[in-house]
Amino acid sequence: MVRHNNQLPNNLPQLQNLIKRDPASYKDEFLQQQRHYKSLLAVFTLRPTEFNKSLDELVMFMAQVAHCYPGELTTFAQELTDLLQTHGPVLDKDMRMTFCRALILLRNKRLLTPTDLLSLFFGLLRSQDKELRKFLESHIVTDIKNLNSKHKDAKLNRNLQNFMYTMLKDNNAKAAKMSLGIMIDLYKKNIWRDTKTVNVISTAVFSKITKVMVAALKFFVTVDTNDSDDESDSSSSDDDAPNTRDVIMANKVSKTTRKRQKNLKKVKRLVEKNKKKKKQSQPSNFAALTLIHDPQGFAEKLFHQLEKRHERFEVKMLTLDVVSRLIGLHQLILFNFYPYVQRFLQPHQKEVVRMMQFVAQSSHELVPPDVLEPVLRALVNNFVTERNSSDVMAIGLNAIREMCSRAPLVMTEDLLRDLAQYKNYRERSVMMAAKSLIHVYRSSMPHLLHKKDRGRPTEATMEIVAKKYGEIDAKEFVPGAEVLLESEDQPELDSESDDSDGEWVDVIHSEDEGGNDVVDKADNDEEEDDDDIEEEDIDEEEEMNETDLSMCTQGTTSNDTPTIVKKVTKKQQLEEKKEKAAQVSTMRILSDEDFKRIEIAQLSKQMTTARNRKRPAEPEESSRGELVRLRDIENIYKKRKHDKQTRIESIKKGQEGREKFGYKDGRVDPFSSKTNREKNKNKNFMMIKHKAKGKIKRSFKDKQIKLRDHLLKLKKMK
């Protein structure tokens, strides 16, 4: 059919629209454009560096209608691919971008396999066109994401990962870094979050190209974005934890006293503190570091590279961070790491706080104390000394606390008692840092502390047993499960009392609960009574048992006998509780309600002293995560200096609701006369300056003259 005045060959957008509507009717026009395209392509191959506008428009037109004529365009994609592979580096940048866009259109129409296209695009990452590299990177990530959206193609992913592995070893720095960035992006978007991806990325750490090595190191020191989702999911389990009301209802009576009101406030603080510590102690989910095949070999090789290569200080810091995290997470043994970091533990050293963080991260219970002791001594000698400022001393004590919380055996008794003396230091920052170190050892190895620093013993602290080097405390029962046997024998509370506001009281009521108020532990640690139960000696308790009680008391004086009896009795009580807990753990399956009741009982142990009196005790330190937060070391207790505007706002806020400051006129009659003193306040200063002069402090000579004149006046009067 002959069309007169046909304008379609010159109007490609209109022809494209018509072909998509009715491909068969406009096939002749398409074939005409195809012949034109081939002729232009033959000319372009002779001069690929020049821009051809007609060819540019025709390539996009052919890509848009390729699905309408698949038979006629079977070689179209291969022609563009060959052109990019042959003349890719010398092509005009606009033409090269057009060819890539056309191939992406064909890929979206399922006319091109992903392997062929992605391998081509990875090769184009070597080009010097930054805009093209960014465009290709975005498409590669999007395409792989779409491929794995419904189901993951393991074979395809494996082939692409192998290709990326070869790209990471490419001599072209830009191509290697872009390939690494693509893999990291795919990992963070949870598309390639598997072992092979992490281990391929780990090979980039040993790249000779510094930018590639730094990008890989930053990947391992950055907390994954998906970890926050994991923590938010885990925080939803807080509803199962006991709250303040649960603990109150477990120890509820009707009588209210001042002592019970005080204890109620303290238990509320204790519950909130425990919840806060649980949230803070969520171990960071280093999914990437946990997926490394050989962490010991990887850490040794990375540390060896650090010693041999001469890189910038910032690169060394990144390497030390990765090595320290590996050591702490996998509990590796790398003895050469600690002397290397020890050289940088000086107050004037750049980024010394981060060096302290690395030392704390790399400390764990399997490192021999002899290896960590020189590092601890360096921290004490270089930081915790009075020749330094109070801030330096506080940061040093904080670093020692973080290190000892992960490896408590490194501390000696003499050194700990010396550091504990800083609790009375004149600067508050040092004092609070020393107290935090004491609190760490109260819950792990209280026998190293002086008796007055151990705090009032509670049921929880009585159950603490210091572990030896390499010892693992593997329990065969649920600690605290014995409370389930006791709760079955006790009567339940009335349902009517559930609606009232309960009070925290003693489980075993004391006789003097009416008037004796309980004071805070921090104010009364040094004033403990002599008859308080002392901390038990672990070695003696292991030797003593119920059968040799009489033998122990025969060779002792009357003053020593009660102490020995107390120790043996406590041991017997602990053994009985363990037997009951093991009995409950083996004979029944514990429910969520049972675990909640056990946690309430364990919390009550922290409030119950050895003499059955309620008293707030320091909660046991929760398990620390692998990552040491920098603010845990930098955080010092110091009164911050406010700016002028903040001080003015604080002053105005304090003046709200109070009477106006100044002279108060207390006269009943406001029209009555005023005194001369009141009138002087409104007079000009020149009128009363001769009287104000008398208020000025006189010199000794003036006093002599005044005294002489006074005596002469008295003499004349006589």
In three state form, how does the secondary structure of 395-462 look? HHHHHHHHHHHHCHHHCCHHHHHHHHHHHHCCCHHHHHHHHHHHHHHHCCCHHHCCHHHCCCCEHHHH
Length of the chain in terms of residues written: 718
Q: How far is 621 from 440, CA to CA, in rounded Å?
A: 7
Q: Based on the structure, what is the number of domains in the chain?
A: 1
pLDDT band at 296, cuts 50/70/90?
very high
**Is residue 573 assigned to a domain?**
no
At 427-447, the pLDDT tens digits run 989 999 999 999 999 888 888
DSSP 9: G
State residue 458 phi and psi, 5-degree precision: -120, 175
Question: Residue 712, Cβ neighbours under 10 Å: how many?
Answer: 10
Q: What is the pLDDT of residues 591-624, one digit of tens each?
A: 777 777 777 777 666 655 544 443 344 434 434 5
How many helices (H) and strands (E) the chain has is answered by 35, 0
Q: In this predicted model, what pLDDT tens digit does every residue of 446-486 receive, in sequence order?
A: 888 888 888 777 666 666 767 777 777 777 677 777 777 76
Q: What is the pLDDT of residue 524?
A: 37
The answer as to whether 197 is a domain residue is yes
DSSP string, 626-683: SSPPHHHHH-----PPP-HHHHHHHHHHHHTTSPPPS-----SSTTS---HHHHHTTS
Note whether residue 259 is domain-resident: no
Q: Are 483 and 507 in contact, with CB atoms under 8 Å apart?
A: no
For residues 203-207, give the mean pLDDT.
Answer: 92
Establish if 276 belongs to a structural domain. Answer: no
Residue 88 belongs to domain spanning: 8-221
pLDDT of residue 567 exceeding 60: no
622 falls within a domain: no
Residues in a beta bridge with 165: none
Q: Does some domain include residue 107?
A: yes
Which of 75, 91, 299 has its CA nearest to residue 206? 299
The answer to whether residue 338 scores a pLDDT higher than 90 is: yes
Residue 597 neighbours by CB under 8 Å, 6+ apart: 483, 484, 487
Residue whose entry in the numeric block shows the structure tokens 């004491």: 438
CATH code at position 26: 1.25.40
Residue 701 lies in a domain: no
Residue 127 lies in a domain: yes
